[in-house]
Structure 1
Amino acid sequence: MTSAAFDLAAIGAGLSFAAAVDELAATLDTSTSAVVSAPPGTGKTTLVPPLLASRATGRVIVTQPRRVAARAAARRLAQLDGSPLGTRVGFTVRGERAVARETRVEFVTAGVLLRRLLDDPGLQGVDAVIIDEVHERALETDLLIGLLSEVRELRDDLVLIAMSATLDAARIAAVLGTDEQPAPIVDHDVPAFPLTERWAPSSALRLDERGVTGAFLDHVARTTASAARELHHDEPAADVLVFAPGAREVSEIARRVRDATDTFDVRELHGRMPAAEQDAVMRGRRADERPRIIVTTSLAESSLTVPGVRLVVDTCLSRTPQRDAARGMTGLVTAAASRSSCVQRAGRATRQGPGTVVRCVDERTYAAAPARPTPEIASTDLADAALLLACWGAPGGAGLRLIDPLPADSLSDALTVLHGLGAIDDDGRATDEGRALARIPTDPRLARALRDGGPAVGARLAAEVVALLGGDLRTADSDVAQALIALRGARTPDARRWRSDADRLERLSTATPGVRSDLDGVGLVIALAFPERVARRVEQISGGATFLLASGTRAGVTGPLAGVEWLAIADVARASGRAAAGSGAVVRSAATLSEEQMEQAASHLLTDRVEAEFVGGRVQARRERRVGAILRSSAPVRASADEGRDAVRRTLQREGLGLFTWSSSAAELRCRLALLHRELGAPWPDVSDLGLLAALDTWLAPELESLASGTPAARLDLTSALRRLLPWPEAVRLDELVPERLEVPSGSRVRIVYPAPDDPDARPVVAVKLQECFGWAETPRLVEGRVPVLFHLLSPAGRPLAVTDDLASFWSGPYAQVRAEMRGRYPKHPWPEDPWAAAPTRHTKNRAAR
């Protein structure tokens, strides 16, 4: 590599950050890490890389979150350096590379550097890494900080700098530094030019179940055209920047603005555009060209500086990945942009002078938006990140200095996916298959589809499908096969980019050349990537259908695909309204799948087993063939003894012992045993629901066999079953400790009602006519005298007159009041003034006299 230094004075001419270069250089004299915080447009991305290159002999790598930003930054620095792009200054992004042996500064996307680290963990030949736009909290950027912090533990000469327009500098500094010493912070701020805020809310909804509404896009276009005319009147040389949430909305707004005015050169800027068109926007315009209206996604928020802008029109919407944990899916969701993002966007109007922002919402809606964007690590699918960490040797990020840890639920789901792909072992370490998948620059599931689908359907078709699914391309009527047909014959930027990605993926395929397949293989490739999303139609509705996925999710389908039986679904998202067919989700891309292909792709989800259930007191069984949650066939069969026993056990554990019909003798025995266990403990058995369910095989084994063979539950003799729990030799004292009946002074043997097993405070009760207990002073006690009997003393008609466990006190006190009230009502029965001297009787006075 050449050691020629960059001319920092020439490169920094006119850039605000030039004033901070000396401070950063002095900081790097004493530290190999730093955090640089400076507003967008100040020149930090242009000046910091050549500063580091001038201090080192090796290469300086600068990461950007987007390809267009990496290319634009490299082109800008090469231009200021006066060197051809790809010599002293170069770039590497997915599918494109302009780098030479003498390259001193290389701009890359974060994903490129992550995969480079897997091949070269020591980053040989690299002296410094600059991670730019840290504040965006892209997942790959967060991971890079963690991995590079570990690399620096082995390479204390590697310089690491994190840069951002706005960030929690202290937090990043703590991660980049050590436990004892955070990284130093270089904070460069400049006085901002005045910004005029205007509000232009729409009377129409911004969002509905399908996304951004057409009426709102009309409003944004009208607002843009009107504001641009005003600006052009006052500042003919100024340009307009319009922020939309995604590429579709960019195109729709641009088309509408072109229809509304021909005064302006309306340009689009988003990640799907060809590099040449992106670069043309970034170069600005000549003085003799028409003023521009540039409609862009969030990529121009901070990572790119579009020259000449003095007016920003903001939809205040953004599109971000969001994980639906309940359905196990992740998709791009359009929602209100965070206020910090909106501030970044507005700041694009004041880079070169006073500017204006027109927000297409009212102030209340703006104030209700989240303060900051959610870090991508907290909201997106983590399969790719988890595989990379496993290959690095830090499963789940263990031991890494990360800004935020990986969320446990999302990580668990990701590890389940990787384990199913054979990418990690039981300990979470990467397998050889996992390392092979990690080297394919796409989601691990799509990488698996490329590797396994190529031999089955041909390397080209597998690569085409994976390129389409990984490229965030829209599919008309959700049909991936039809989308492929359209792309093959198109010459659009999307088609060219897709074709380039497919070429690259085909070269990575391990399939033997020559295998060819028609579009019938599209569904198989998708199913190989997402076997849990194979789906069967379960309901036909007007204009669509509901499909059940193997994962258990239901999703609505409209259009031609609603008429097929089996689908391989690539993308399913939360939704409402007609498109979701009442399922809460809608299929966004899928392909027809044959049952044979389903079995090939989802073989590990296929089951063929007898499902026995205990229903209505009987064991019923059916032989069911399933793929995951999808029932393919079901037929009644006779359950085996084991299947029947398991069915009864499952139902009892789920619904409890109330399924049985308890005879009075069985219920009484259970209550007696419960009292003994309560008062004496072991060896008397625990006959609560939990106790009996835990000991099913001890007391109910023969009955379980009977139930399994078809005997109705109502025929079981639970009294005999409970007697199996009686402890020996203690069981001989059962009737002594807890007798069934109690003899009262009249000679009657009255049944004792024992408390229910689930009532720990209740007492055994004897309900007896008051006259049968005359003269009884000693209240009887059960269980070795531990438990007094509670008497319900009844009237001749059997109604309770008193409740007591102290007969002596009753006769001496309350009895007199009872006698006064009852003797007139029941004159035929004895109500002696002295109950101690009266003879106990169960008869009337006349019959007792006889």
Structure 2
Amino acid sequence: MNAAEFPIDSLLPSIRDSLAAHPRLVLEAPPGAGKTTQVPPALLDAPWLRGQRIVMLEPRRVAARAAAQFMARQRGEAAGDTVGYRIRFENKVSARTRIEVVTEGILTRMIQDDPSLEGVGALVFDEFHERHLAADLGLALALDVQASLREDLRIVVMSATLDGERLAQFLDAPRLSSAGRSYPVTLAHFPARREEKLEHQLRRAVEHALQQHPGDVLVFLPGQREIARADAALAGSDALRGVDVLSLHGELPVEQQSRVLQPDPDGRRRVVLATNVAESSVTLPGVRVVIDAGLAREPRYDPNSGFSRLDVVAIAQASADQRAGRAGRVAEGWAYRLWPESQRLEPQRRPEIVQVELAGLALELAAWGDAGLRFVDPPPGGAMGAARELLLRLGALEAGRGDAPPTITAFGRRMLALGTHPRLAAMLLAPSDARERALAGDLAALIEARDPLRSGGDALAARWQALAAFRQGRAPAEASRSALAALDQAAKQWRRRLRVDATPPTQVPAHALGDLLLHAFPDRIARQHPSDPYRYQLANGRSAKLFDDSAVYGEPWLVISELRDDPRDARVLRASPLDEARLEREFPQRFVSEDRVVWDAAARAIAAVRERRYDRIVLDSRPLAKPDPSRYADALVDAVRQLGLDALPWTGSLRQWRARVRCLREWMPELAQGENALPDLSDEALMAGLDDWLKPALRGKTRLDALDEGAFGEALRSLSDWSWRQRLDALAPTRMVVPSGMERAIDYAYDEHAADGRGAAVAPVLAVKLQELFGLADTPRIAEGRVPLTLHLLSPAGRPLQVTQDLRGFWERTYPEVKKEMKGRYPKHPWPDDPWTATATHRAKPRGT
């Protein structure tokens, strides 16, 4: 295939011209346009490049290798000459290489190691719409380099399905769009039968496609597990006789990937079961039918639990369109979707940066030394806080002084150089013994890879024992030999990376794996609960529970490498026993003994104990005879944190004061700004500031109920400046003089559940007998006239007659009917025909009138 055959060809001169005039460019081109393989070669002779290299970021290893090999073949060369690639554990570049295709972690290392990017003239970010975390970080670093060190550096962001206008505005860059090459694709939804499993629905869809349409069939599934199930379901189908069923995912050996990317040598039809690696960049020849499960396996992170997990989620509409387009690359095609037609998908894929664990990102930013990088979507604060806390535990960061952010340690820089998750890097670097370092390489491979055992279970040792047996030529029957072979190869790569000559041991003591894993999962070191052998307390304060058939039942200490979050307890999915003596030798500083005065929630009283702990695991606790009285206030504050604000002695007037302040902040937003702003009295703000406003009032007290209403009220009001007390009465008064001359109370309220749970002010209420408002034309207002009162107009007996914020309208339209009905019921009270001029009164008519 010649470059001229690609639709992007006509746009290449515009791309070159744009980059000559501007250092950044956003390029939109659908699948099949040729952007991946045609744009980098077209830039090689650009004058601004001056013979420097082009580095192209490709998010997937399969695509990176395939793109580089395709570009090399176009030039009649082998990969590693003018065009090369670098992916994890594989390097095909040379001194002659001018186009270097790299995967995401490689690009980050290049920029961190050489911020000036010596010899690099252009960075190309391909398939940016996938919004991988490493791509977002790479772009942020590249923009910082361009702004501070390399004004001449060109940055090209390419995408098939992305909001290009938003990205172009963010980059302050021109935007070019290319047409694709595609034929019409007929879309249809292939309904599932009642309670039908995905693999059975898929089998019916594949059989239908093979019978009704020509060409190969590409099936999109979320992961290897679903591919294996689909493969097994298709194995017994008569419709697939003579059809080659192939798998395509990132963990396949190179030769198997290459086989899928080439036509069948014997001309057989093919069914390719693929993850979303086939969604973009990789072109599969001969595909005329796409069958899409509409699912992807993506990482999710919950900052409240601190646990990461891979979830099977519905794909975005943009991904569904891109997958369907794969059927129209060579001729008219068909796409079958296995979800209901009524199901609506999100328009675009969510960026990984807002939903994954961010320890790696936090470490990269600490190494870069500038946390103020510009991200297309900034990282969430909660996830970044949890990431930094983990890095502090791992020894990668050290806490800054005062408000200064944490800084990277020398150990943290060594971790970063390994190019893996900080947890695994800490474990790989921890042992000094060569055999232990080789064993650590095995563990890194096991944690990163799919489970080699078909039988499940929670013992990581069973996986390692299967790997050790495989090396001796006797893999267990319940293990996948291909998975074990991939694990063995990954472990070899780790030993090579670590420069370890020793071979891994063939057998180890029961706690050997845990003794290494504790360096990767210091927050998940767990001790058996003294009263429940299935429950474990974790070093981070959470608890986790074993399954009933656990293989590690009875172990006093565990390190948990995999957890499944649960509303009540996390479940232990993978764990290893560890040696407590080894733990104390490795982390002596985390074993502490101290006297504590704490709130005992069960007894609803203060308890004074002498505790020995490992992090937040209590190892021993004994009553303390003479606790320090000054520490009682801390315990009582903890009690409020556990029991909530309702445990405090609220009075009606205090609740009204709080509601007035909260409402006024909403009605007059300018009063919530500046140095002397009205205080934030939301539950969240009060709970966050307990140490500042409540603790002083609790000093000297040994019980929570010893705090009286007066002291509590003073503590609460101390949050507002003294000048506000009078101003508050003027803007949001507690009482109002009505035309009868009497003072009546105004009732304030704040609805915590309004506005989707954010809370909102409720209109203030003035309850008053109707006769007391004669002569008043308009509804009274507060907050400098911005807020009308809600009038509860009462009968002489104090019963409600009308609720309104339009007093004038009431007099004009409703009062005549009220008068007619009430005059006979309350004859001793005035019911004038003209309420506008009548005298307001709170009394009945004088006798005889």
Q: TM-score normalised to the size of structure 2? A: 0.70
1:68 equivalent in alignment to 2:62: yes
> Match for residue 161 of structure 2?
166
User: Counterpart of 1:596 in structure 2: which amino acid?
Assistant: A
> Match for residue 486 of structure 1?
466
Q: 2:189 aligns with which of 189, 199, 203?
A: 199
Q: How far apart, in 2, do the equivalents of 1:390 and 1:292 lie?
A: 48
Q: What is the root-mean-square deviation of aligned Cα atoms in Å?
A: 3.4
User: Counterpart of 2:415 in structure 1: which amino acid?
Assistant: L
> Match for residue 484 of structure 2?
495
Is the alpha carbon distance of 1:627 and 1:458 closer, same or farther for their aligned partners in structure 2, counting shifts above 3 Å? same
Q: 1:346 aligns with which of 321, 324, 341?
A: 324
Q: Does the CA contact (< 8 Å) of 1:458 and 1:514 recur in 2? A: no
Residues 342-387 of structure 1 deviation map (CA, whole Å, 9 limit, x = unaligned):
111111101112111111111123x2x3222210000001110111
User: Counterpart of 1:132 in structure 2: which amino acid?
Assistant: D
Q: How does 1:445-484 map to 2 (within 5 A)?
A: 445-455=423-433, 458-473=436-451, 476-484=456-464
Deviation of 1:605 (Å): 4.1
Deviation of 1:316 (Å): 0.8
Gaps of 5+ in 1: 1-9, 177-181, 207-214, 576-581, 662-689, 722-850
Q: How far apart, in 1, do the equivalents of 2:647 and 2:539 lie?
A: 32
Q: How far apart, in 2, do the equivalents of 1:630 and 1:316 lie?
A: 43
Deviation of 1:437 (Å): 0.9
Q: How far apart, in 2, do the equivalents of 1:165 and 1:120 lie?
A: 30
Residues 151-177 of structure 1 deviation map (CA, whole Å, 9 limit, x = unaligned):
22222222211111111112222333x
Q: How does 1:318-717 map to 2 (within 5 A)?
A: 318-365=296-343, 367=344, 369-395=345-371, 398=372, 400-425=373-398, 426=400, 427-455=405-433, 458-473=436-451, 476-488=456-468, 489=470, 492-509=481-498, 518=508, 520-538=511-529, 545-558=534-547, 559-575=550-566, 583-600=568-585, 603-613=588-598, 620-642=607-629, 645=632, 650=637, 694=696, 700=700
Is the alpha carbon distance of 1:331 and 1:692 closer, same or farther for their aligned partners in structure 2, counting shifts above 3 Å? closer
Is the alpha carbon distance of 1:660 and 1:533 closer, same or farther for their aligned partners in structure 2, counting shifts above 3 Å? closer
1:304 equivalent in alignment to 2:282: yes
Q: Secondary structure at the match of 1:364?
A: coil
1:48 equivalent in alignment to 2:24: no
Task: Give the structure with higher Rg (CA).
Answer: 1
Q: How far apart, in 2, do the equivalents of 1:219 and 1:37 lie?
A: 35
Q: How far apart, in 1, do the equivalents of 2:137 and 2:449 lie?
A: 22
Q: 1:268 aligns with which of 211, 223, 247?
A: 247
Deviation of 1:277 (Å): 0.8
1:217 equivalent in alignment to 2:199: yes
Moved more, 192-201 or 511-520: 511-520
> Match for residue 230 of structure 1?
212
Q: How far apart, in 1, do the equivalents of 2:406 and 2:635 lie?
A: 37
Q: How far apart, in 2, do the equivalents of 1:317 and 1:437 lie?
A: 34
User: Counterpart of 1:485 in structure 2: which amino acid?
Assistant: Q
Residues 319-355 of structure 1 deviation map (CA, whole Å, 9 limit, x = unaligned):
1110012210111111212222111111110111211
Residues 770-818 of structure 1 deviation map (CA, whole Å, 9 limit, x = unaligned):
xxxxxxxxxxxxxxxxxxxxxxxxxxxxxxxxxxxxxxxxxxxxxxxxx
User: Counterpart of 1:196 in structure 2: which amino acid?
Assistant: T
Q: How far apart, in 2, do the equivalents of 1:401 and 1:660 lie?
A: 44
Q: How far apart, in 1, do the equivalents of 2:623 and 2:545 lie?
A: 31
Q: How far apart, in 1, do the equivalents of 2:2 and 2:261 lie?
A: 18
Deviation of 1:230 (Å): 2.3
Is the alpha carbon distance of 1:627 and 1:310 closer, same or farther for their aligned partners in structure 2, counting shifts above 3 Å? same
Q: Secondary structure at the match of 1:529?
A: coil
Moved more, 637-646 or 564-573: 637-646
Q: How far apart, in 1, do the equivalents of 2:644 and 2:385 lie?
A: 33
Q: How far apart, in 1, do the equivalents of 2:693 and 2:228 lie?
A: 68
> Match for residue 230 of structure 2?
253
> Match for residue 28 of structure 1?
19
> Match for residue 186 of structure 1?
176
1:129 equivalent in alignment to 2:119: no
Q: How far apart, in 2, do the equivalents of 1:120 and 1:658 lie?
A: 57
Residues 283-341 of structure 1 deviation map (CA, whole Å, 9 limit, x = unaligned):
2323x331110000011111312121110111111111100122101111112122221
Is the alpha carbon distance of 1:205 and 1:104 closer, same or farther for their aligned partners in structure 2, counting shifts above 3 Å? farther
Give the fraction of aligned pairs with identical amino acids, expressed as a percent: 32
Q: Does the CA contact (< 8 Å) of 1:539 and 1:547 recur in 2? A: no
> Match for residue 95 of structure 1?
89
Moved more, 591-600 or 126-135: 591-600
Is the alpha carbon distance of 1:620 and 1:141 closer, same or farther for their aligned partners in structure 2, counting shifts above 3 Å? closer
Q: Does the CA contact (< 8 Å) of 1:527 and 1:601 recur in 2? A: no
Q: How far apart, in 1, do the equivalents of 2:225 and 2:272 lie?
A: 14
Q: How far apart, in 2, do the equivalents of 1:483 and 1:411 lie?
A: 32
How many residues of Structure 1 are paired with residues of Structure 2 in the alignment? 639
Q: How far apart, in 1, do the equivalents of 2:308 and 2:99 lie?
A: 36
User: Counterpart of 1:53 in structure 2: which amino acid?
Assistant: L
Is the alpha carbon distance of 1:623 and 1:310 closer, same or farther for their aligned partners in structure 2, counting shifts above 3 Å? same
Is the alpha carbon distance of 1:428 and 1:171 closer, same or farther for their aligned partners in structure 2, counting shifts above 3 Å? farther
Q: Secondary structure at the match of 1:53?
A: coil
Deviation of 1:20 (Å): 1.6
Is the alpha carbon distance of 1:438 and 1:257 closer, same or farther for their aligned partners in structure 2, counting shifts above 3 Å? same
Q: 1:278 aligns with which of 257, 263, 272?
A: 257
Q: Does the CA contact (< 8 Å) of 2:435 and 2:503 recur in 1? A: no
Q: Does the CA contact (< 8 Å) of 2:53 and 2:99 recur in 1? A: yes
Is the alpha carbon distance of 1:600 and 1:510 closer, same or farther for their aligned partners in structure 2, counting shifts above 3 Å? farther
Residues 59-107 of structure 1 deviation map (CA, whole Å, 9 limit, x = unaligned):
1111111111100111111112111121121111000111111112111
Is the alpha carbon distance of 1:326 and 1:602 closer, same or farther for their aligned partners in structure 2, counting shifts above 3 Å? farther
Residues 724-780 of structure 1 deviation map (CA, whole Å, 9 limit, x = unaligned):
xxxxxxxxxxxxxxxxxxxxxxxxxxxxxxxxxxxxxxxxxxxxxxxxxxxxxxxxx
> Match for residue 151 of structure 2?
156
1:84 equivalent in alignment to 2:82: no
Deviation of 1:34 (Å): 1.2
Q: Does the CA contact (< 8 Å) of 1:421 and 1:448 recur in 2? A: yes
Gaps of 5+ in 2: 650-691, 712-849
Q: Secondary structure at the match of 2:408?
A: coil
Is the alpha carbon distance of 1:48 and 1:657 closer, same or farther for their aligned partners in structure 2, counting shifts above 3 Å? closer
Q: Does the CA contact (< 8 Å) of 2:467 and 2:484 recur in 1? A: yes
Q: TM-score normalised to the size of structure 1? A: 0.70
Is the alpha carbon distance of 1:403 and 1:657 closer, same or farther for their aligned partners in structure 2, counting shifts above 3 Å? closer
Is the alpha carbon distance of 1:315 and 1:126 closer, same or farther for their aligned partners in structure 2, counting shifts above 3 Å? same
Deviation of 1:526 (Å): 1.6
